[in-house]
Amino acid sequence: MTRGIGRRHLLTTGAAAIGGTAVGWGTRGVVDDPAAPAAAAAEATPAVLGGDVEPFHGVHQAGITTVPQAQTSLLGLDLLADPDAPGAPVDLDGLARLLRLLSDDASRLTAGGGALADTEPELAVRPARLTVTFGFGPRVLASLRPAYDPGLEPLPEFAQDALDPAWGQTDLLVQVSSDDPVSVAHARRMLLKDAAPFTRTTWVQEGFRRARGSDPDGTTMRNLMGQVDGTVNLPTADQGRLLWSTGRAAGFDGGTFLVVRRIAMDMVDWDRTDRVAREFSVGRRLSDGAPLTGGAEHDEPDFEATDASGFPVIDPASHVRRARSDDPEQQFLRRGYNYSLPTGETGLLFLAYAADLARQFVPVQARLDELDLLNEWVTAIGSAVYAVPPACVEGDFVGREMLGLPPPTVSGSAVPTPTTPTSPNGDTP
């Protein structure tokens, strides 16, 4: 009896025949176009971004207007006794030695090289846009250069704050940022080794954003409450006037001032709050960050718009309304980072840079402190301010002019100070 050809047999043999034909076509294509395999491989291989470098030297320090990296680590350091004179505080010369070490190693690490005494230089070869930014607290300037006044003052007290001294003011700040957590961890270790003879590490605050490439360039970050955070920021056109200091003090032109605020979030109560109440408190939609009166994130809020009952669509006590000012001077550059601890504490590292904190930052914060619906769920538990000097040229160190010290010499001649109007990292003075 002749057995019929089963359906399974037909399908498998047919597939084999088609597959064989397809292989034939594919082989002919490769022969005809030798570049095809290389092009296909290049298309399938993701870009490697670890070699991207942000220049350390220039006019302004990197890490301020640099496109925010995925990871940051803030190091709050307090000066110890002078290692060469036990019992005496670190003097100006001691601080200069420290800054010389820190600047030299930072310049090496950000370029993808090991620090001077690096025992693991292999960890430094992928800087992934590593930046190291230095700032000085009010105490170090008042004690070491009492006659020098760049305009740095502590912030006033705010009623809504619940500040923990553990996250308070320090003498120095070192901000280490990169798209790669290994680069951040290694650079932090090298810099803290440099600083150990001169300083005590008072706190380390670590923050993160989405990994580079997770969102298109220019996407506003989201905080861990799910909000689009930082839609309104200092425009590039205003940075020369409202970001960089000019004429305040010798050696500080091209510098800026920084506020570091550690903001804890009550996520337990936030989780109990419905979406309507969340959006009402912020004045923006959670889905895309658009104002409640707009259709897209960057639409201008209409604070005069009312609903069918005659009530304002955007509540006068909402965060977006209280943060907004009609004074064009009340703007600053912000860089936010999320943080989340194993203890359950969740929040935001809020960094604000401005040429004049009293004129630009304090009025905005005072309005939020007085009345802001979002205060129900957020509390500042840490706060500090710093004077961030301009960058240095190769062979010099950050803060040298600010401290009134002579330039280092190379082969009998002084290292030149930067005079170009534009720094290598694209900033303008």
Out of 52, 180, 194, 229, which one is annotated catalytic?
Answer: 229
Q: Which pLDDT tens digit goes with each residue over 107-130?
A: 999 999 999 999 999 999 999 999
Residue 229 among the catalytic residues? yes
Q: CA 258: distance to chain centroid?
A: 12
Containing H/E element for 414? strand 413-414
Strand ranges, E, within 267-377: 333-340, 346-354
Mean pLDDT of 378-386: 98
> Two tokens at 318?
């909402």
Q: pLDDT grade, residue 90 (50/70/90)? A: confident
Q: Give pLDDT tens digits for 155-206.
A: 999 999 999 999 999 999 999 999 999 999 999 999 999 999 999 999 999 9
DSSP letters, 145-198, are: -TT---S--PPPP-TT----GGGS--SEEEEEEES-HHHHHHHHHHHHHHHTTT
- Cβ contact 161:370 at 8 Å: no
pLDDT tens, position by position, 394-427: 999 999 999 998 888 765 555 555 543 443 344 4
